[in-house]
Amino acid sequence: MKQRKPGCYIAAVLLAGLMLGGCGNPNAKANTAESVSASDSETVSESEEIVSAEAETENGFETETETETEIEAETDPIVIVLDPGHDSEYCTRNHPDLGVNEQDLNLTIALACRDRLQQYQGVDVYMTREDGSCPDAEHQGEYCIEKRTGYATDLGADLFVSLHNNGTTGVYGAEVNGTEVYVSNYSAYTEEGKKLGQMVLDNLAQLDLNPRGVFVRTKEEKGHYDDGSVQDWYYLISYSVEGGHPGMIIEHAYMDNPHDNAILKDEAQLKAMGTADADAIASYYNLQIKTKTEN
């Protein structure tokens, strides 16, 4: 990056010296003609520096510096990776008795979330899949979780969000209903994760989804992170931590609950869920809607 031209600083310092010189003892006198001559010489030199500084300003150095400052003020975009859970090839979650397939629900929500986020300034949005294909088709889904979270790591993501739907028995008529958000137990991410998770819950609650809460679920058998905290139960989250970015899982609704099942069968409601997720993320990062010229 370009640096400010040094002449302007030198001129400013010398000019300040002249001004300070005029504030000295009024009774002080030069002792010799040599000292007077030296003073005259310095004044000439200082005048030349001031003229030089003015010339640099006229030649556009100051304008160039202002432009550099504006460039420095620009910030890198927030990088969000959306992960529609499961897929239609190897990691399917088909529920014919419930009339829904989870991987399809997740994708519809994620696409709507992406489309809404792209309406905001200062954010780059990526998806681990944009159709029914498996992100790890090469290994038939064996390393699917590593592939999904690794994609976010490679992008230097600020946030990895895996979008899912829930179930208890898998039999229609279950009593449990509503939204759950899972965030990391890693100390650097927990509190901020809870903050964002609550914003997601609040938005989804406006769609008649019961806000069950923001949860941290751990598994002692997996060991500990470098901060000493127990690793997260879900590999989607623990692999994210290992990749250097926070991860969260949004379980939007219970497929086997009659109330939630009806909502999940309404495509407009699914898209509204994605929009609600996006607006929560945008609010958390203080993103602003793009102007017409930016669209």
Which CATH number goes with the domain that contains 218? 3.40.630.40
pLDDT for 54-68, tens place per residue?
A: 444 444 444 444 444
Indicate if 103 and 57 belong to the same structural domain.
no
Give tens-digit pLDDT for 167-190. 999 999 999 999 999 999 999 999
Tell me the C-alpha to C-alpha distance, in Å, between residue 66 and each of 4, 54, 141, 260, 264.
9, 16, 52, 56, 53
Most confident of the following: 1-15, 38-52, 224-238: 224-238
Q: Which residue has the higher pLDDT, 1 or 84?
A: 84
Residue 172's domain comprises 78-284
| DSSP assigned state of 220 | G
Among 73, 95, 130, where does a domain finish?
73
**Backbone dihedral angles phi then psi of residue 4, each to the nearest 5 degrees:** -60, 140
Closest CA to 144 of 185, 184, 103: 103
Q: What's the whole-number mean pLDDT along residues 79-93?
A: 96
38 and 148 fall within a common domain: no
Read off φ and ψ for residue 78, nearest 5 degrees. Answer: -70, 135
Distances (CA, A) of 237 to 153, 162, 192, 240: 12, 9, 14, 5
pLDDT at 295: 62
- For the segment 96-110, the average pLDDT, to the nearest whole number, is 97
Helix (H) / strand (E) element for 10: namely helix 6-21
Specify if 290 maps to a domain.
no
Residues 60, 100, single domain; the answer is no
Residue 23 in this model has a pLDDT that exceeds 50: no
- pTM value? 0.76
C-alpha to C-alpha distances, 117 to 79, 112, 113, 133, nearest whole angstrom:
11, 9, 6, 23
Name the nearest CA neighbour of 196 among 159, 231, 244. Answer: 159
Mean pLDDT of the chain: 83
63 plus 155 within the same structural domain: no
CB 101 within 8 A of CB 180: no
Torsions phi, psi of 166, nearest 5? -110, 175
Residue indicated by tokens 């941290």: 216
Give the range among 41-45, 154-158, 179-183, 235-239 with minimum mean pLDDT: 41-45
**Structural domain count of the chain:** 2
Q: Is residue 217 classed as helix, strand or coil in its secondary structure?
A: coil
Residue 295 in any domain: the answer is no
What was the pLDDT predicted at 209? 98
C-alpha 204 chain-centroid distance: 21
Q: What is the mean pLDDT of residues 215-240?
A: 98
Give the span between the Cα atoms of 49 and 8, in whole angstroms.
9
DSSP string, 62-81: HHHHHHHHHHHH--PPEEEE
pLDDT at 53 over 50: no
